[in-house]
Structure 1
């Protein structure tokens, strides 16, 4: 890919003196150029939790939802899927690819502080998505979207320090079991002369696992940046320290983070990455 323009359409922080709206969740628009594309190809990665706020921000950012060419959902949680139906109605495009893991529509609940659903909202169903003319691609495997851009598929988990942290449950064969969020996926863009830029929703598989898996399936060892939420908000100091250390060892050059990463992790990233650490927010834009 010759060039990638990134818009953070929705995030937990709106930025300083910004007219844009914040909301719990994340949604990122990728606008790609090059590799013989006759026009920019646009991918929406996640849909945050509220489509009205999402579409409001799109309007302020000059983004026409009807020009979105594909949608990728990172995992089941409501703060990534809550805005999906509303934004698909705004895109209004037949055969629009919507890519997700086959377990994304599962039951996902928590008992703290009380019983509630953490999964996709009630209206986010296979039937409703397909009724809008979309083509659901539900697979555990990586999906090539255009040359230089692919999903990770289900992420291989190999690190010891990124295990644990389970706070939700699902139902398997009638039994209530801890949900490891195996539906967690990321999006990989291979930028010419830079290397990989890896986008995560929450990074439930672990951001280091995600980088290792991305390197493995692409065969590319150079990682320019990781971008998104890394789910370190309630992580131990040891896990935060180890995460930053391992990303440095793997040669990750820049970190763009927000959503569920947390203040303590952001401070550690800033200590180790300095000006190469970027706190994203609604309306944040950059070009790779």
Structure 2
């Protein structure tokens, strides 16, 4: 099939398109008279392009999640294992705080030092495991920055792909999806049939640009999801653009609105359309975003679990939409007023001191039982929680397993 008068671009590779990288393959020659079936087509409208790509990859396209219509389910216990975070405290001691067990990962030394150890890097990945009666569910949330770290840590923590009932990406930033394509490619055929990846919408696929606050500000490519890697791995993509029940036990919040004083913290910019075979299809985007060249990044999808008799445990990813906004949306989406714990990145590290103080004061009014900061939260937040909300701060890091019980 030949398309004249166009510039062809390479189809995404299974390594994923990461930030700060050159193109991953040569640009096909449109004048050669033949274009390889893996090459993205050009000179076409978004609808036609989507239809053609669908024919090339078997007609698969994202499904839309069903609306949450029943009461938020309760579970007897929730275990959250931190697979990847920014640091590790090797000699942290286990603890029990109220009904919560905090279990750091042990090196497991015997007569010989271990050949492999957990690796920490910029990024987040966690395994959420629930128990309700005899039913157990396992959901992987985010994939960290590199597949090497993700797979190394999963192996040490004895987390297998065939354990997963679902996967969820909180938002389209590379430090949360960078490990995805390599992980999926390395484990093709090992996932359960029909396993789904939940995304907030087509925006998750948009190419992103990060702005570093230098003088003058510097902009860099911040990566894009690889559709082809998802298709090749046999993973079903589901858009959860409204409150959605996942694997029977977990509810994803749907879009997070601006309900409070908070602003979107450390936003990237995203662009509708394709670039070098990566990107999002404008016709699948909200109308206001279809023609914009640079769109503020407002996609975030947050998982919540209702622990029986305790309330919601909310895992924030990075909390770019504001941690208080996130908690308010979790309450609205689930109908559960009590926040038992909030855990994850809160992205307050680059914010001014007064903003962090205001955030802590607002969380104090919501009155969660526990606060477990990770990743991009910053030291000031943890210090203020320890000072203003005594007994509620739980410190965690790479490898920590936290168990919330009814």
TM-score (norm 1): 0.91
Give the aligned partner of residue 197 of structure 2: 98
Q: What's the CA shift string for 1:111-135, capped at 9, x where partnerless? A: 4353322243xxx322320221110
Give the aligned partner of residue 170 of structure 1: 270
Give the aligned partner of residue 242 of structure 2: 141
How far residue 165 of structure 1 moved from its aligned partner, in angstroms, is 3.7
Q: Number of matched residues? A: 281
Return the alpha-carbon distance in structure 1 between the equivalents of residues 331 and 230 of structure 2: 32
1:267 aligned to 383, 390, 400, which one?
A: 383
1:129 aligned to 209, 230, 233, which one?
A: 230
2:335 aligned to 219, 236, 252, which one?
A: 219
- Residues 130 and 249 of structure 2 are in contact (CA less than 8 Å); yes or no, is this contact kept in structure 1? no
Give the aligned partner of residue 32 of structure 1: 130
Give the aligned partner of residue 158 of structure 1: 259
Return the alpha-carbon distance in structure 1 between the equivalents of residues 240 and 80 of structure 2: 25
Give the aligned partner of residue 43 of structure 1: 139
1:118 aligned to 222, 226, 229, which one?
A: 222
Return the alpha-carbon distance in structure 1 between the equivalents of residues 258 and 338 of structure 2: 20
How far residue 170 of structure 1 moved from its aligned partner, in angstroms, is 2.1
- Structure possessing the higher radius of gyration over alpha carbons: 2
- In structure 2, the CA distance between the partners of 1:271 and 1:262, relative to structure 1 (3 Å rule), is same
Q: What's the CA shift string for 1:94-118, capped at 9, x where partnerless? A: 3211001111111210343533222
- In structure 2, the CA distance between the partners of 1:167 and 1:151, relative to structure 1 (3 Å rule), is closer
- In structure 2, the CA distance between the partners of 1:119 and 1:273, relative to structure 1 (3 Å rule), is farther
- In structure 2, the CA distance between the partners of 1:27 and 1:164, relative to structure 1 (3 Å rule), is closer
2:209 is aligned with 1:109: yes
**Structure 1 gaps, min length 5:** none
Return the alpha-carbon distance in structure 1 between the equivalents of residues 166 and 247 of structure 2: 10
1:187 aligned to 303, 315, 319, which one?
A: 303
Return the alpha-carbon distance in structure 1 between the equivalents of residues 157 and 264 of structure 2: 38
- In structure 2, the CA distance between the partners of 1:277 and 1:95, relative to structure 1 (3 Å rule), is same
TM-score (norm 2): 0.66
SS in 2 for 1:150: strand
- Residues 144 and 176 of structure 2 are in contact (CA less than 8 Å); yes or no, is this contact kept in structure 1? yes
Give the CA RMSD over aligned residues.
1.8
- Residues 51 and 83 of structure 1 are in contact (CA less than 8 Å); yes or no, is this contact kept in structure 2? yes
Identify the range of structure 1 (265-274 vs 40-49) with the bigger mean alpha-carbon deviation: 265-274
Return the alpha-carbon distance in structure 2 between the equivalents of residues 148 and 268 of structure 1: 33
Q: What's the CA shift string for 1:22-68, capped at 9, x where partnerless? A: 0110001011111552xx21000100111111111112222223211
Return the alpha-carbon distance in structure 1 between the equivalents of residues 171 and 302 of structure 2: 9
How far residue 215 of structure 1 moved from its aligned partner, in angstroms, is 0.6
